[in-house]
Structure 1
């Protein structure tokens, strides 16, 4: 948190305030920061409290385990010259000084093989989009008020829902290559997969309940992979021919993951970690996406 605040203070921009929203009172005052304790509430609730206390026309959200590039706000402002643009985001890159397991996790998340998550974690081209991650989210305060603020029940996924609401209000969202933050990763494998399981569970539930920006083929692909493997095993028990097809398809999948890893990863020592991480991410995300599809509702 303190590192994030330090980098925010060094932003190449003058007219802004910093609001910190901890659960409890900080042990000491932080110079230049408004500290507003919220109690143990959801991130959506925290952000709504922050918006209600903010004085500016734009609200920029960043997580405590991330920190901004120096021109974060300066680069974002120009996109709001278009009155139809209501929100701007950008990549959350993995810091170079993260541990090897965190860097491996970042490589997994930014890989072409993980589909929809990848754009959030690597350099991208600037484009209009329909979903911005909350750790790097800058929006007009007026649109946040208009759509009723952040969803206070669901986490993660509250960013998906507010983006859906903004788009339904007829406004645009921009994913910008120069609006960059650095986001520390959950290390492989346990913490990474725990986070991925939450992403999968909520995305599956949102695809059923809210549709919109949660209906994308790449979100369904890991689940389709699991169903294919399961069906192939059952069919193979009946007829060995289908087992042979399954073995060939599995080999092609594993080789594709490996080749993609070799093409994307710069350090050789990361290759086995990233390769296994991609495969594990597919299986965990796919399983929990299916669980989300059949869930009647989700608790926090």
Structure 2
């Protein structure tokens, strides 16, 4: 028997004039899987006319996690499909994710959030900083299609959850924004013992923060939340890869200190020389990463990726240290 559950698509919006919201809603309307409702939770009322849409607004700012929880309470569907207001789904998005929920051990399904075609060069540069091998590391599958796999942490920009499991763990925890999705996934996989599957066919197109200040602001927020979670939620966040930008930052500061003060200690000089070798290897890896981007984009984006990724790593490293050592709680 064909499995055709009602899917509640939950979109949270926080801008009075959002240039991407209509793009998102129009793409939802074109889904090949037709049994869905749209729940829009926003700060301010938006005048829209979509037959499957219900709207909740507040007239003031409300945090994303709280909005998603409110949307989930309004939902009539068996599956909650969360998507950001600056993203839009591919036509088979719902069709691809629904089939996974036939298995009772599956609590969630995620898929890649690709940079949309035709965006500005600043937005494209931000996208490559996230999607390239050096920019994303082992998490490149979050930004480009990769092999199907189980995951224990996935961002809510493209995440579907079985409603009954969502309710069992208490939904999103607004105390952990940004990063409430990390806490939710931890609860689903460790508390309930359920699985979250990544499917490369569950595609949305997710707009990026343009370089440089908005891009760094967002990635800095990612860094501080990951550092904080590495301390308080080590089950899914205490991983060596998250510490690498901070270690690189500390190494460069050490080398600069040795240079400025002309320290001649033999042991310190040996460590400094090791640092030079590692820095040279890092630069070489950035060059190979640029070649990878060149095959998929153009020479300008390839060359631009070198300083953008380097600066992004440094700033992420600063904010990770802040989150790991000094942050008492995350503030919206």
Residue 286 of structure 2: which of 257, 261, 274 is its match? Answer: 257
C-alpha change, 1:191 and 1:94, in structure 2 (3 Å) is same
Q: TM-score, normalised by structure 2?
A: 0.86
Map of 1:214 onto structure 2: 237
Q: Which sections of structure 2, spanning at least 5 residues, go unmatched?
A: 1-20
Counterpart of 1:166 in structure 2 is: 188
Q: Would you say how many aligned residue pairs link Structure 1 and Structure 2? A: 300
The one-character-per-residue Cα deviations of 1:112-135 (angstroms, maximum 9, x if unpaired) are: 113255221111111000111101
The aligned counterpart of 1:285 is 316
Distance, in Å, in 1 between the alignment partners of 2:46 and 2:289 is: 45
CA deviations over 1:210-236 (Å, ceiling 9, x no partner): 211112221111111112222333445
1:190 equivalent in alignment to 2:213: yes
What is the alpha-carbon distance in structure 1 between the residues aligned to residue 209 and residue 138 of structure 2?
18
Equivalent in the alignment of 2:134? 113
Contact 1:109 / 1:117 at 8 angstroms: preserved in 2?
A: no
Residue matched to 2:40: 20
TM-score (norm 1): 0.95
Question: CA 1:62–1:28 in structure 2 vs 1: closer, same or farther (change >3 Å)?
Answer: closer
How big is the shift at 1:245? 4.1
Q: What CA deviation, in whole Å up to 9, does each residue of 1:33-55 have, x standing for no partner?
A: 11111442111100111110100
How far is the alpha carbon of 1:281 from its aligned partner? Answer: 1.2
**CA RMSD between the two structures:** 1.6
The ranges of structure 1 where at least 4 consecutive aligned residues each deviate by more than 6 angstroms after the TM superposition are: none
- Structure 1 residue 269 corresponds to structure 2 residue 300: yes
Correspondence 1:238 to 2:263? yes
Query: How far off is 1:239 after superposition?
Result: 2.3
Provide structure 1 residue ranges, at least 5 long, that are not aligned to the other structure: none
Q: Is the 8 A contact 2:107 2:195 kept in 1?
A: yes
Q: Is the 8 A contact 2:176 2:183 kept in 1?
A: no
> Would you say the 8 A contact 1:66–1:182 is kept in 2?
yes
Distance (Å, rounded) in 2 between the aligned partners of 1:144 and 1:116: 27
In the alignment, the residues of structure 2 paired with residue 153 and residue 226 of structure 1 have an alpha-carbon distance, to the nearest angstrom, of 29
The CA distance in 1 between the partners of 2:278 and 2:48, in whole Å, is: 59
- The one-character-per-residue Cα deviations of 1:88-124 (angstroms, maximum 9, x if unpaired) are 0000000111111111111110111132552211111
Out of 237, 248, 251, the residue aligned to residue 228 of structure 1 is 251
